[in-house]
Chain A
Amino acid sequence: MLVIEKLTVEQPSASALDIVAWFVYLLSAVLFVVGLHFMNSPKTARKGNFISSYGMIIACVMAFIVLFMQGFISPIAVVVLIAGIAIGAVAGVVSAKKVKMTDMPQLVSVFNTVGGGAAALVALNDILAGQHEPSLVVLITAGLGVLIGSVTFTGSLIAAGKLQGIGFVKKMSLPGKSVWNVLFALLTIASFVMLCVAPDQRLLWSILTTVFALCYGLVFVIPIGGADMPVVISVLNACTGTAVAMSGLAIDNVALIVAGALVGAAGVTLSVLMAKAMNRPLLSVLAGGFGGSDAAAGSADGPEGTMKETTPDDVAVQLVYADKVIFVPGFGLAQAQAQRELADLGELLKEHGVEVEYAIHPVAGRMPGHMNVLLAEANVPYEELVDLDDINPQFPSANVSLVVGANDVTNPAARKPGTPVSGMPILDVDKSQHVVVMKRGRGRGYAGIENELYFEDNTQMLFGDAKDGLQAVIAAVKELLN
């Protein structure tokens, strides 16, 4: 009511349109909530995405109606606006249609980059473009929009680069990372405060805020390793949401505020879930590395014993004569793009009467739910993908567990104190009767320690690329069945 009153006072001639616009934006916000609500089941999720896109469409149409009915100062602005939208739409559709499912985490991160960038630009424009000095409220909200949006921009860009495996991004390291982090955080906050207290020099301070925030985004994400990316991506997603909400506060638009808050909530909820699944405080994940990772890697006492190697033929025999098999996919599956082969193998075994299930650890892969998307692409029904808590009691009854490219999430060392993975909930793969681990090399996992599972009596190793290995196993299984 208060807002409507104010609009009536300031622009009596346009008040009706403003009220209509307000309610249309509110409706679009409602559609976003309803859309997200439908995401709670795979059956309705697609409908939910459509509902949310309708919300987006009506909000955009309304914005254009207001633009043309209330008029604009410069036609050039409208031309560049429409040109920008056309270019962005084409770029968005092309990249979304072309991307491979294994590259999904990168793309989500890229979209996050551009979203953060757009939010920062809107806020920056709000501070700089006006003829008059902006009010303190605008300076604070828009300033925060600039700050958070810029951090997300460079942060997500680096995250995308790391996920894509771009050489120089991956190799980037940051000696004295905490010093840089603190330095740029302080510089960013200082320039933001200066922007608020000295608005007459807002050009200088807003540019400094942007630059320092961009630098902070870099030093924030560079030290964080690939396996922690699920957390980083959701945190950055939350940041973009917040930046959008701040821009919304600055230009007083209900759709931006509500949508931004929803995304912020989604990002925070997912980050907390991920951190919980790793049994590490969110802050320690974001601080980068497995707490003193160098020390941990160097001093870890290797488990006793030797690894036993096996052959695809032998694996095939074990699988075919089993009653129950559990597949344990990890990032290695995505890397080798072997999801179809794994699904084919599962299908073959099911036809032969073997019970097949997929054990999904919450942080397997490079983004929340990464494995689920990959296996969905390979046509595995989602009922066969079983969560950590539900699958763990089933391992003792499994004749064979086939681990494909998963490492730390299966390490029994997590049950003992004093290791970098201690306390992390793991898949109880070692409790199944036989374990076959498909692995590229003998290297250690992300946590930098040997996996005790590999040295257990009931574990056999099949070294090599997951795709080649699975194809060999499939061929051997087919031969046995014929």
Chain B
Amino acid sequence: MPDLVVSITLFVLALLIGIEVIGKVPATLHTPLMSGANSIHGIVIVGVVIVAATADNWLSYVFIFLAAVLGTMNVVGGYVVTDRMLEMFKSDKSKSADQKKGA
């Protein structure tokens, strides 16, 4: 039981940290933020690896395979697409710097 108490404490504290950190993100970045948060929940892939250690029947194999495909797609796709978005955010200064480089 103490295990669960520790885990729930972690969960609640992480929730509070999350609310604190995310409240500071400006509206401009809300789409990348959501997409970034989206890739973080792909951490479930770690869970898939952990349960794979004890898997010994076909039902489990199917679950693990599907979960691995879905979870990895979530992680990898999420990070790539978030980076693609953030790459586009340019400030006035960096943009004029780009133009100077081009000229």
Contact, CB under 8 Å: B11 / A245 = yes
Contact, CB under 8 Å: B37 / A85 = no
Report the minimum CB–CB distance from B59 to chain A (whole Å): 6
Interface of B with A (CB < 8 Å)? Answer: 1-8, 10-12, 14-19, 21-57, 59-61, 63-92, 95
Contact, CB under 8 Å: B79 / A372 = no
Residue-wise interface mask of A (19-37) relative to B, using a CB-CB cutoff of 8 A (1 in contact, 0 not): 0000001001100110111
Report the minimum CB–CB distance from A162 to chain B (whole Å): 17
Query: Given B39, B54, B84, which contacts A56 in the complex, CB threshold below 8 Å?
Result: B39
User: Does any Cβ of B come within 8 Å of A255's Cβ?
Assistant: yes
Contact, CB under 8 Å: A77 / B50 = no
Contacts A240-B41, A373-B88; is A92 near B48 (CB within 8 Å)? no
Contact, CB under 8 Å: A42 / B18 = no
Q: How far is the CA of A124 from the CA of B66 in the complex (A)?
A: 12
Q: How far is the CA of A105 from the CA of B93 in the complex (A)?
A: 29
Contact, CB under 8 Å: B60 / A129 = yes
Contacts A42-B91, A122-B48, A379-B95; is A267 near B69 (CB within 8 Å)? no
User: Does any Cβ of B come within 8 Å of A259's Cβ?
Assistant: yes
Q: Which of A62-70, A170-178, A315-323 lines the interface with chain B?
A: A62-70
Residue-wise interface mask of A (35-73) relative to B, using a CB-CB cutoff of 8 A (1 in contact, 0 not): 111011111011011101100100110111011001111
Contact, CB under 8 Å: A367 / B46 = no
Contact, CB under 8 Å: B51 / A111 = no
Contact, CB under 8 Å: B75 / A92 = yes
Report the minimum CB–CB distance from A78 to chain B (whole Å): 6
Chain A, interface size: which category?
Answer: 35 or more
Contact, CB under 8 Å: B33 / A255 = no
Which chain A positions have C-beta within 8 A of B74? 88, 92, 111-112, 114-115, 118
Please provide the chain A residues from 122 to 141 with a CB less than 8 Å away from any CB of chain B in the complex. Answer: 122, 124-126, 128-130, 137
29 contacts between A and B (CB under 8 A): A33-B21, A40-B21, A40-B25, A42-B28, A49-B83, A50-B83, A63-B49, A66-B50, A71-B53, A85-B69, A89-B72, A92-B77, A92-B80, A96-B80, A112-B74, A114-B73, A121-B63, A129-B55, A129-B59, A237-B34, A240-B38, A245-B11, A251-B50, A253-B47, A259-B40, A262-B21, A265-B17, A368-B34, A381-B90
Contact, CB under 8 Å: A39 / B29 = yes
Contact, CB under 8 Å: B29 / A42 = yes
Contact, CB under 8 Å: B88 / A377 = yes
Q: How far is the CA of A362 from the CA of B25 in the complex (A)?
A: 13
Query: Given A50, A63, A104, A269, which contacts B31 in the complex, CB threshold below 8 Å?
Result: A104
Query: Given B23, B26, B64, B90, which contacts A77 in the complex, CB threshold below 8 Å?
Result: B64
Q: Which of B2, B31, B49, B80 has the most CB of A within 10 A?
A: B31
